[in-house]
Amino acid sequence: MTTDEEKKEKRVVYLQKWREENREKCKEYEKTAKKYSEDNKEKINELSKKYYEEHKEEIRIKKGRKITCECGCVVSYNGLAIHRRTKKHTFKLIPTLLD
């Protein structure tokens, strides 16, 4: 039986190998996706605005939600990724890593 971490590692290796073998296919897909985005910019913006209007309250609640980071700081859900890259976060975690 394999653990979750072994499965994740196996998947990462598989995906890296697949990307190397299919490099041209990936490049072609990227070009197609970029072209579609450029050609349908107005449509995409319209759909994004429509989605935002339909889910406005949920989005605001999620962005404004406060979370206690593993370092002990209280940050908004929206700023958690940025907070984790700060010196403040890093220095607060050093004592816990040494234990």
pLDDT digits over 7-37, tens only? 889 999 999 999 899 999 989 999 999 999 9
Name residues whose C-beta falls within 8 Å of residue 87's C-beta, 6 or more positions apart in sequence.
none
CA distance 75 to 50: 29
Give pTM, 2 decimals.
0.53
Mind listing the pLDDT tens digit for each residue in 42-60?
999 999 999 999 999 998 9
Beta bridge partners of 76: 66
Asked whether residue 64 carries a pLDDT value surpassing 90, the answer given is no
